[in-house]
Amino acid sequence: MALALLPAGSQAAETSPPATASPPAPAIAAAPSPADQELERGRYLAAAGNCVSCHTRPGGAPFAGGLSFSTPFGLIYSSNITPDPTTGIGPWTAVDLRRAMHEGIGRGGYRLFPAFPYTSFTKVTDEDVDAIYAYLRSVPAVRYTPPSNSLPFRLRFGMAVWDALFFRSGRFQPDGKQSAEWNRGAYLVNGLGHCDACHTPRNRFMAENASEAYAGGSFSDRVTGDTIRAWSAVNLTAAHSGLADWSVDSLARYLKSGFSPRAGSFGPMNEVIVNSLMNLTTADVHAIATYLKSLPARERSSASVPAQLVAAGAGVYKDSCEECHQSSGRGSFFNSPPLEGSAVVQDSDPASLINIILYGPSQPKQVSYNGWETMKPYKDVLSDADIAAVSNYIRGSFDNRAPPVTAAEVARQR
Ligand code: HEC
Ligand code: HEC
Ligand code: HEC
């Protein structure tokens, strides 16, 4: 089974030799040393865990921390995980890092907050944590102390209770009845990929609801600068409101490039794709897609938009959206994705749907939408009532199903 836990498709032949300015390569290139191989593996796994997105503040050095996370209890700042001896994790041993990743406990015994996704990282193998450790030792040490958290200090002690109630430590257990590819995908999604951190709903103590795993989550995040917005992360299960209409191949293509004819990334998923998934081998991304497509359907809501509210939004749709998304809602190969069967449109929490209409997509330079003209922001064109109306129209048409949206919900996201 060990095979399933290796980066799929990462045979020695695929690891490029380190760039050097030395004389032309000898006829027989020296094989990378075991230490270099471990480092390269660690770099790959750190990308799979997207450590850099959370541990780099805007304009700051990679891994030096200081990015803020807003939680219902206050602001939490990510730590400096460069090897700096005083402000970073210089004194940490590999065993210290295992304890942080597997148990959520820092060097010295303090409890970490689950804004650091140790609840997922606990599934990562010892060998993989050790490779990440080797890689983190190799990044430039940066002297920088992140701001202090604006949380009651006592909350750290309270985390012992939280862990006892909501956290089970334990490595990934392969399922012998499934293929090696499925297991590799399950390992990546539930472990380093921590996809559940955003895509699984949480209870009021911020713990994930296991019975609704991957059925869609809600959170706040910044996309540009310091603007923090409410977001919803779609249902990733085979539900009607989830990925039912996606094939494994279109899913793999979206994850690897940020775009498939079914959808383009436009919000917090941008960073997941650009900093993490784009760096994975095609085989690993395919494994992730294979696993996701096997998730049993889970719907969070069975509500639908009443017929008169659907009808009330038809005019706005015709005037503002139909030109690209078509009267059928099927979009067009030449300019736009389908709204029919869209997980963003049918999300039980409309936060991301409202954002894309208000602000348009935020498209990183690495992501290309097939040459499509990007959708314009409608915040200055449509009123809250219009945006609610058009949302209700697309949530209740084209065989889509989702609860209605109110103008007040739109107003909250202005
Ligand atoms: C979703 C955001 C997020 C991701 C992804 C993430 N971290 Fe963190 N990490 C945090 C936050 C926030 C903290 C601070 C937690 C606290 O103060 O209790 C933290 C703390 C840590 C700590 C504790 C440091 C200390 O001095 O106590 C370590 C070690 C760490 N992260 C390593 C990693 C590694 C390695 C990865 C990638 C495999 C990673 N993190 C990915 C958000 C993240
Ligand atoms: C930081 C939160 C976050 C994390 C972590 C995250 N996602 Fe997402 N995801 C989102 C949001 C928000 C969207 C909505 C679209 C967007 O942001 O571009 C989304 C959209 C998606 C979509 C597209 C659905 C559609 O219909 O357009 C897929 C597929 C997806 N995520 C898969 C994953 C996988 C696989 C992982 C783990 C490797 C993951 N996500 C991790 C927040 C997240
Ligand atoms: C100029 C063409 C154009 C117009 C007009 C337009 N869109 Fe879009 N729309 C796009 C493109 C391109 C995307 C690609 C980004 C993406 O896939 O997320 C998109 C994405 C979307 C998405 C995200 C779909 C998903 O599953 O990720 C929604 C929802 C949406 N548009 C709704 C609307 C609504 C509602 C209107 C009218 C108020 C509208 N659009 C007008 C081109 C357009």
| Residue range 56-112, pLDDT digits in tens | 999 999 999 999 998 878 889 999 999 999 999 999 999 999 999 999 999 999 999
| CB of 342 closer than 6 angstroms to any ligand 3 atom | yes
| CB of 336 closer than 6 angstroms to any ligand 3 atom | yes
93 to each of 48, 90, 135, 355, how far by Cα in Å? 22, 8, 13, 43
Residue 68 tokens read as 């803020």
Main-chain phi, psi angles of 69, to 5 degrees? -125, 125
| CB of 159 closer than 6 angstroms to any ligand 1 atom | no
CB < 8 Å & 24+ apart, contacts of 305-311: 305/392, 305/395, 305/396, 305/402, 305/403, 305/404, 306/396, 306/404, 307/396, 309/389, 309/392, 309/396, 309/404, 310/392, 310/393, 310/395, 310/396, 310/397
Spatial separation of the C-alpha atoms in residues 304 and 240, rounded to whole Å: 12
| CB of 374 closer than 6 angstroms to any ligand 3 atom | yes
Predicted local distance difference test score (pLDDT) of residue 361? 95
Predicted local distance difference test score (pLDDT) of residue 279? 98
Q: Whose CA is nearest to atom 34 of ligand 3?
A: 321
Predicted local distance difference test score (pLDDT) of residue 331? 95
Predicted local distance difference test score (pLDDT) of residue 73? 81
Q: Whose CA is nearest to atom 2 of ligand 3?
A: 324
Say if residues 256 and 285 touch (Cβ distance below 8 Å). Answer: yes
Which parts of the chain have pLDDT scores under 50?
A: 1-21
Spatial separation of the C-alpha atoms in residues 281 and 94, rounded to whole Å: 26
| CB of 188 closer than 6 angstroms to any ligand 1 atom | no
From 81, 84, 113, give the residue whose CB has the most ligand 1 atoms within 8 Å, as the site to mutate. 81
Q: Tens digits of per-residue pLDDT, 300-344? A: 999 999 999 999 999 999 999 999 999 999 999 889 999 999 999
CA 138 to ligand 2 centroid distance, Å? 30
Predicted local distance difference test score (pLDDT) of residue 225? 64
